[in-house]
Amino acid sequence: MSQIYASFKSIGAYVPEKVLSNADLEKMVDTTDEWIVKRTGISERRIAAEDEYTSDMAAKACELAIERSGVAKEDIDLVVCATVTPDYFNMPSTACLISDKLGIRDVQAFDISAACSGFVYLLSVAKAFVESGMKKNVLVVGAEKFSSIVDYTDRGTCILFGDGAGAAMICATTNKEEAFVDLHASADGSYADFLVTPAPGCVNPVSQRVIDEGLQYVQMKGNETFKLAVKTLTKDVKEILEKNEINSDDIPHFIPHQANYRIIKAVGDSLKMKEEQVVLTVGKYGNTSAASIPMAINDIWESGRLKEGELMLLDTFGGGLTWASALLPFAGKSK
Ligand code: UT7
């Protein structure tokens, strides 16, 4: 029997209509467009409508990814969603709601929680299911309504985050050329306090105190996270390239987590990446956590920049702390 590999067959994304610009934020907190652009590279981000939920955005991204893959909905045998802003904490899973919205029934569906690293973590889940022979067509989606956990009086976080979704079909193949080259995912819980949403959860169940203290909002040690992000992202990419004997010049698309332009620039520079190799969407979408990498892949596919067979290097970092990198070809059709 020939070996089965996982391949990245298609990409899709959805961004909500409403734009929250730096000028809008200037009216909400003590900040300036100049400060935000200089310190983060972000000019605007998208915000979901009040009645538009993570599963709605995810389902729209999934519809595109499914259509572009050519896989029939009835042949999808696993749906996995990465999010830290699920429709419900914690039942039903957002993946169950997405499957229902897509009209896919009787399918295994579940969520994972790995913050901004969620999408690359999902790829490791899909790879394991496909290469073990348990599943053939895995729909993976990173989606966030991050605005639902942002305190819009906290200038340290509200300038960074945005909403959106990105999805991909990961399919079984016997063609080694299409296979994932390598993937590495890791975590270090001793830095758990760098990025936290303290409530709701069993540590802080919903109470008046939770509301009074604003514990339902994301809390971030921004500067400490920044420094660790640069160090970890750089190290992770160096290791995966060295291990696979690939030179950074040979990577047409370096797609890092879109957290802050200065982090991406520092990592890109230390890896000696040229500007045209580095994918940047942070300026127009901000940090969309688990959706950031698939949204960025979708951007280069839709603009015709990502072609069939081209190598992608993904690199991400987020709450947990978690981090992950992946080296894989785009096995779908060029636009
Ligand atoms: O996606 C998950 C991972 N998350 C990240 O990777 C986020 C990483 N962190 C960051 O992107 C940056 O740390 C921030 C953009 C959040 C903050 O930038 P920074 O250069 O690290 O600023 P800082 O926190 O060291 O603060 C410097 C100064 C402070 O003022 P003082 O104490 O020097 O007077 C802050 O109060 O900047 C002030 N400040 C602001 N000023 C204007 C912080 N936020 C703002 C703001 N506008 N929005």
Do 168 and 221 lie in a common domain?
no
The total number of structural domains in the chain stands at 2
For residues 193 and 171, state if they share a domain: no
Judge whether residue 1 has pLDDT over 80.
no
Encode pLDDT of 232-259 as tens digits. Answer: 999 999 999 999 999 999 999 999 999 9
Domain membership flag for residue 146: yes
Assess if residue 334 is contained within a domain. no
Q: Which DSSP symbol is given to 179?
A: B
In this structure, the answer to whether residues 276 and 156 fall within a common structural domain is no
Which of the listed residues 149, 176, 203 is the one where a domain comes to its end?
176
For 147-194, write each residue's pLDDT tens digit. Answer: 999 999 999 999 999 999 999 999 999 999 999 999 999 999 999 999
Contacts of 64 (CB under 8 A, 6+ apart): 11, 12, 13, 14, 167, 298
Nearest ligand 1 atom to alpha carbon 226? 8
pLDDT given for residue 2 in this prediction:
85
Distance between CA atoms of residues 111 and 100, nearest Å: 14
User: What would the pLDDT profile of 66-124 be if each residue is shown by its tens digit?
Assistant: 999 999 999 999 999 999 999 999 899 999 999 999 999 999 999 999 999 999 999 99
pTM: 0.97
Query: Are 189 and 171 in a shared domain?
Result: no
What are the structure tokens assigned to 241, written together?
């390239």
CATH number of the domain at 121, please.
3.40.47.10
Q: Which amino acid, 75? A: D
Mean pLDDT throughout 288-314? 98
Q: Please give the positions annotated as active site.
A: 116, 257, 287
Same domain, 21 and 166: yes
Residue 227 CA, ligand 1 centroid: distance in Å:
12
Amino acid identity of residue 270, one-letter, is S
Q: Atom 29 in ligand 1: which residue has the minimum CA distance?
A: 156
Among 115, 149, 176, the domain-final residue is: 176
Q: Cα(10)–Cα(94) distance, rounded to whole angstroms? A: 21
Report the pLDDT value the prediction gives residue 266, as an integer from 0 to 100. Answer: 93
32 C-alpha vs ligand 1 centroid, how far in Å? 12
Pocket residue to mutate for ligand 1, from 113, 191, 260, most atoms within 8 A of Cβ: 260
Residue 90: the pLDDT is 80
Domain assignment of residue 335, yes or no: no
Confidence label for 42 from pLDDT (cuts 50, 70 and 90): very high
Q: What is the pLDDT of residue 24?
A: 98
Q: Which structural domain, as residue segments, surrounds residue 22?
A: 5-176
pLDDT at residue 211, rounded to an integer: 97
DSSP state of 4: P
| Ligand 1 atom nearest to 158, measured from its CA | 48
Once rounded to an integer, what is the mean pLDDT over residues 273-298? 97
d(C-alpha 116, C-alpha 140), whole Å:
14
Q: Do residues 172 and 304 both lie within one domain?
A: no
Whether 108 and 172 map to the same domain: the answer is yes
Nearest CA to ligand 1 atom 27: 223
Residue 69 inside a domain? The answer is yes
Q: What is the average per-residue pLDDT within 29-49?
A: 97
- Domain check: are 320 and 212 in the same one? yes
Domain shared by 189 and 212, yes or no:
yes
**Which residue, 176, 202, 231, sits at the end of a domain?**
176
One domain, residues 191 and 138: no
- The verdict on 60 and 116 lying in the same domain is yes
Distance 204 CA to ligand 1 centre (A): 27
Residues with CB under 6 Å of ligand 1 are 31, 35-36, 39-40, 116, 155-156, 159-160, 222-223, 225-226, 229, 259-260, 263, 287, 318
- Please identify, by atom number, the ligand 1 atom nearest to the C-alpha of residue 229: 6
pLDDT in tens, 201-232: 999 999 999 999 999 999 999 999 999 999 99
Pocket test for ligand 1, best of 20, 38, 39, 193 (most atoms within 8 A of CB): 39
Give the residue, by CA position, lying nearest to ligand 1 atom 44: 156
Nearest one of 103, 85, 191, 190 to 145, comparing CA atoms:
85
Q: Which residue among 226, 262, 316 is best mutated to probe the pocket of ligand 1, counting the most ligand atoms within 8 A of its Cβ? A: 226
Statement to judge: residues 63 and 172 lie in one domain: yes
Is position 285 within any domain? yes
pLDDT at residue 143 in the model: 98
State which ligand 1 atom lies nearest to the alpha carbon of 29.
48
For 113-137, what is each residue's pLDDT tens digit?
999 999 999 999 999 999 999 999 9
| Index of the ligand 1 atom closest to the CA of residue 260 | 11
pLDDT for 52: 98
Expressed in angstroms and rounded, the spacing between residue 265 Cα and the centre of ligand 1 is 17
